[in-house]
Amino acid sequence: MKLIALQVGPVAEIAGTGTDEWWDHPWRSGFLKRSITAPAQLGPLGLAGDAQADLVNHGGQDKAVCVYPATHYPYWRSALGLPGLSHGAFGENFTLDGVAEDAVCIGDVLHIGSATVQISQPRQPCWKLARRWRVKDLALQVEQTGRTGWYFRVLKPGEVAPGQALTLVGRPHPEWPVALANRIMHHRKEDRAAAAALAACPALSASWRESLARRAKEPQPPGEPASQSRLNPPS
């Protein structure tokens, strides 16, 4: 796999455009990122020059780097009628070629440049993705299709740059492809045994382990309020 585009961006105040649509109201986000061609320093909390506005739900050591597969872009350009959709459009830091969710696993350890990273969890898209592209159910579409991308935690800080290859150096949990983790979280909500098994994976992010462990103990199928608040924009 190869890093074909590298994106960073500060938190920005995004002005409204004067319409009554919810996506045209003023908002504050680190979603709008720009591609860079120079090497960048990668630390425990992410790339130098990158930031998140909502530190409760984004960023942190388990979600230091947002990753999206380049292979999904042709699908979204067609599905959304946005032929100009460019790398970084999903708010990702790394756009990777030659890989998708079914080919990598939770806990995979990879070298890139002088840094070492590890897959911590699938990405859970929020309504800001829908707001950016003015497609109300886009976050839900991403979740349902499994074209989510994933997050890296940083095991060893270093310098990374576009064009570099990522080398797999460890796969401690081959039983947990990212695609399977997505299905258990989003499509197999009544499967308590699967939730408990995935929650026991030590390489999985703390937030996913906690969420799945709670689900495994629930006597009835879980409701939707937490997921819906993440997927649906504010009124």
List, for residues 79-132, the tens digit of each pLDDT value: 999 999 999 999 999 999 999 999 999 999 999 999 999 999 999 988 888 888
| Residues making up the chain, counted from first to last | 235
pLDDT at 56: 67
Q: Which domains does the chain have, with CATH numbers?
A: 2-231 (2.40.33.20)
pLDDT at 170: 98
Strands (E), the chain: 2-8, 12-14, 27-29, 34-36, 40-43, 46-47, 65-69, 94-97, 109-112, 115-122, 150-156, 158-160, 167-170
pLDDT at 230: 55
CA 169 – CA 80 distance, rounded (Å): 36
Ranges of residues in the chain with a pLDDT under 70 are: 27, 53-57, 220-235
User: How far, rounded to the nearest angstrom, does the alpha carbon of residue 117 sit from its chain's CA centroid?
Assistant: 15
Pairs from 25-31 (Cβ < 8 Å, separation ≥ 24): 27/128, 27/131, 28/53, 29/53, 29/54, 29/128, 30/58, 31/91, 31/128, 31/129, 31/132
Which among 103, 140, 123 has a CA at the least distance from the CA of 228?
Answer: 140
pLDDT at 221: 54
pLDDT at 197: 98
pLDDT at 187: 93
Angular region, 91: left φ>0, alpha ψ -120 to 50, beta rest: left
Q: Residue 82, SS3?
A: coil
- Model confidence, pTM: 0.90
Structure-token pair, residue 168 = 């797999």
Which among 83, 82, 81, 124 has a CA at the least distance from the CA of 101?
Answer: 124
Q: Residue 12, SS3?
A: strand
